[in-house]
Amino acid sequence: MIVRISSVFVLFLLVIFSAHSIAAEVNVYSARKEALIKPILDDFSKETGIKVNLITGGADALISRIQSEGQFSPADVLISTDVGRLVRAKQLGITQVNADDFVVENVPAYLRDEEQHWTALTLRARPIMYAKDRVNPESLSTMQALTDEKWKNRICIRSSNNIYNQSMISGMIQTQGEAKTLAWAKGLVANFARTPKGGDRDQIKAVVAGECDIAIANTYYLAGMLNDEDEATRKTAQQVAVFWPDQETIGAHVNISGVSVAKHAKNLDAAKALIRFMLTDEAQVWYAETNHEYPVKEGIKWSQTLQDMGTFKAQDVSLSKVGETNAKALMLMDSAGWR
């Protein structure tokens, strides 16, 4: 799918680069898999003539690489799949302020750094998923209720070293405090059906295989399975449904994929233009339709798969705070016996 960017936006880019020496390239360090980001970068190059040099890898590895490269780092842009890593990059001093009214106008405040070091590109939700044939959705309500005795040996989730779970726990700390979050984590661990292992898709598959009845996972993993080319994968995913917890109170936990400008970016104008590009309506539509992630801009249509999962109320806690308490969340999970 090719992203068609408005002529007005292209004209804006041309004005930027005619007013400065034209940047021929921009270097992107991305924790997103190539298939999930390269099409957008290719469209940016087609529209602007700016070459994008893409390096992919794990978020921690890329952050360490930028840090070790120091002032000689070629990185202009850092893309990450979780707010915790973006906050860590800021704390390490390897990002810089990107004061851009376009970002402020298009991204809600809770989805960007107060000091403008990073901004969300897409929104991810982490609700409850359940076996359609074994779980009545009326038996589900809140995340807190997952500690009930009736869920004993019925829950699957990833390990405590997973950043998505760490951010989820950090969000709980923000909404209900450490003591209640620790008690909840202990109760959840007591209801695990197995020792945590694998990724989110593995949790979904475990539900279908009968190893557990419910799982906690990001919706785009299920959406990807529902749209997979492999028929067996699609059939597996079709046996699982999404339940949105805490809709009468704080809302479901959400996280982001996001972006920062590197501290020592050599192609600064191109880096800022790329971030703007990824926040255009057309690019946001592409994210929704192709990657099945929620747009950060209001008014952008979701993919049909996401629509079928239902609308939901999301937590609006500051994601900066979520990232800042990541280490505390991990220690809490360890104390709860979450492995």
Task: Identify whether 2 is part of a domain.
Answer: no
Give the number of domains in the chain. 2
CATH code (residue 104):
3.40.190.10
The pair of structure tokens assigned to 11 is: 């004209």
Same domain, 63 and 29: yes
Angle at 64 between CA 116 and CA 61, to 5 degrees: 105
What distance in Å separates the CA atoms of residue 339 and residue 325, rounded to the nearest whole number? 19
Amino acid 35: pLDDT: 87
Read off the pLDDT of residues 116-141 as tens digits, 9 standing for 90 and up.
999 999 999 999 999 999 999 999 99
Please write the tens of the pLDDT for every residue from 80-116.
999 999 999 999 999 999 999 999 999 999 999 999 9
Query: What is the per-residue pLDDT across 154-176, written as a single tens digit (0 to 9) for each?
Result: 999 999 999 999 999 999 999 99
Residues 138 and 180 in one domain: yes
- Based on the domain organization, do 165 and 249 belong to the same domain? yes
Say yes or no: 318 and 329 in one domain: yes
Q: Which structural domain range is residue 151 located in?
A: 125-253+312-335
The distance between the two most distant Cα atoms of the chain, rounded to a whole number of Å, is 66
Q: What is the DSSP string of 15-84?
A: HHHHHSPPP-EEEEEESS-GGGTHHHHHHHHHHH--EEEEEE--HHHHHHHHHHHGGG----EEEESSHH
Same domain, 119 and 23: yes
Residues 147, 268 within the same domain? no
Question: Is residue 208 a part of any domain in this protein?
Answer: yes
pLDDT band at 3 (very low <50, low <70, confident <90, very high): very low
Tell me if 307 is assigned to some domain.
no
CA distance 287 to 291: 5
- The reply to whether 316 and 167 lie within a common domain is yes
Which residues belong to the annotated binding site? 220-221
Is residue 79 in a domain? yes
Q: Which long-range contacts (CB under 8 A, 24 or more apart) does 171-179 make?
A: 171/253, 171/315, 171/317, 171/322, 172/143, 172/253, 173/325, 173/328, 173/329, 173/332, 174/317, 174/318, 174/321, 174/322, 174/325, 175/250, 175/315, 175/317, 178/328, 178/332
Q: Are residues 148 and 266 in the same domain?
A: no
Does 306 fall in a domain? no
> What is the spatial distance between Cα 80 and Cα 89, in angstroms, rounded to a whole number?
10
Amino acid letter, residue 11: L
Domain match, 196 and 323 both: yes
- pTM of the full predicted structure? 0.89
Tell me, yes or no, whether 320 and 176 share the same domain: yes
Bind-site residues for Fe cation: 220-221
- Tell whether 116 and 139 lie within a shared domain: no
Residues 89 and 109 in one domain: yes
- Is 1 a member of any domain? no
